[in-house]
Structure 1
């Protein structure tokens, strides 16, 4: 029986629930019983040392990787047993994913990259491009609509990647080190845009980071150590409480 640390869970209905996740790559154990709740509309930072399993946890929650053991539930739906077609559908509609280097399609313009999730969901080209322009505007990169990823700065490319992840107004965005390849100023701009937009549309964000300044944007922070999720230490909890009072 799984007995999770109750400090990690709020008692509120979770948008995504993970219990007892285990995942190994050969002999290397990335997750060793990780449990976590992500509430609707919250921004949750998962921090930890390099190699602690942070990216694997995100991939399991987003349905990119299946855990070897444990449960990942999106509402009442068990993603760990869902067919690949359903997982792909969720990532087109209910989930958005942002990686450290954006992973934009290099042959497509910024506009086409952002419109792509809408086109894959069946939206006609004209309306898809119109909505994509609106989302590029939200992130301050509408002027880059006709540029390809290689013609933009790192910060601009990451803002385009965020626009692509949020264009369908998903229930959850999974952001894996979204500022890791940026300088501090560009990182702050990207995080400010992500947090503001997520709060505006009510999207939950699972933020993977090793940077305490980036984690400070979150409503709540947990640590991943040796493949297990732990509640944040007292100084981090005090910082979160002080931020909420401001």
Structure 2
């Protein structure tokens, strides 16, 4: 069966420093894959190549059997609005917009009318248990609330793949567990795949498979649970 998303023998360097040295990864529809490794191992670079944000120096990334590097920049940007969702360590919400407007933003950028976009955004804020902060700006929310708003924004377009880069890294353990539980539950309900970058075993425990990246190379590890 063809993978939803697959990277093969990726190499990427920043100047003289190699970040990826033959790394690879396969992601099937609806599964949650954790990319683990210490800081500087190349795991975030691998995620950015998978998402089409970075072009690898060598190797291939294929999404739905189409090579990302062969797509024009405009098409890759469109994919990041429609097929891909993103959750970063610090949320990266737009501070001038309300939480509702932040969640609705990807839909508005895709051409959806304001009323319908905000109606869908409200549904996702409710699913992520943060409807009470809809009118607030990100700076007026707690870290856990802001990150759940970021998850709602990542899922509101119905993406096929959600890329989550250290999504609980700035949270305490209680809020981190809540964000992960809601992210995983929502992804499974919508059959979205999740690529989860982390260095914490408790975060990786939410995944179906674990891939370890070290010195720019990847290997799958057997999970015993």
* Coarse TM-score class (shorter-chain normalised): over 0.9
**3-state secondary structure, aligned to 2:4:** strand
> Displaced runs of 4+ in structure 1, greater than 4 A?
none
Alignment partner, residue 212 of structure 1: 201
Give the counterpart of 2:192 among 203, 207, 212: 203
Give the counterpart of 1:57 among 46, 65, 72: 46
Alignment partner, residue 8 of structure 1: none
Give the counterpart of 2:71 among 76, 82, 86: 82
Q: Deviations over 1:197-244 (max 9, x none)?
A: 000000000000001001000011110011011121x5xx223xxxxx
Number of aligned residue pairs: 225
Quick one: distance in 1 between partners of 2:114 and 2:224? Answer: 48
Matched, 1:134 2:120: no
Q: Deviations over 1:8-67 (max 9, x none)?
A: xxxx43100100111100111110011110010000001001100011000000011111
Give the counterpart of 2:16 among 16, 23, 27: 27
Alignment partner, residue 140 of structure 2: 151
Q: Deviations over 1:143-191 (max 9, x none)?
A: 0001111100010000000000000110000000000000000000000
Quick one: distance in 2 between partners of 1:84 and 1:18? Answer: 19
Q: Please report how far the alpha carbon of residue 75 of structure 1 lies from its aligned counterpart in structure 2 after TM superposition.
A: 1.3
Alignment partner, residue 114 of structure 2: 125
Matched, 1:171 2:160: yes
Q: Please report how far the alpha carbon of residue 76 of structure 1 lies from its aligned counterpart in structure 2 after TM superposition.
A: 2.0
Output the TM-score relative to the length of structure 1.
0.90
